[in-house]
Amino acid sequence: MCTNFIPASRPDFRSALNLPEPTFDYPRETYVSYRAPIVIVAPDTEAMELREAQFGLVPFWSKDTKISRHTYNARSETVAVKPSYRDPWKKRRYALVPMQGFFEPDYATGKAIRWRIERQDQGVFTVAAIWDYWRTPDGVGLTSFSMLTINADGHPVMGRFHAPGDEKRSLVIVPQALRTEWLHATPQEAGELLLPLPADEFTARPDPRPASASRKRGTSRTEVATGDK
- pLDDT over 80 at 15, yes or no: yes
The CATH class of 4-226 is alpha beta
Per DSSP, what are the bridge partners of residue 5? 30, 102
What pLDDT is attached to residue 42?
85
pTM of the model: 0.90
Q: Tell me the one-letter amino acid at 34.
A: Y
Q: What's the gap between Cα 38 and its chain centre?
A: 9
Per DSSP, what are the bridge partners of residue 101? 6
Report which of residues 178 and 219 the model is more confident about: 178
Report which of residues 159 and 2 the model is more confident about: 159
Domain ranges of the chain: 4-226
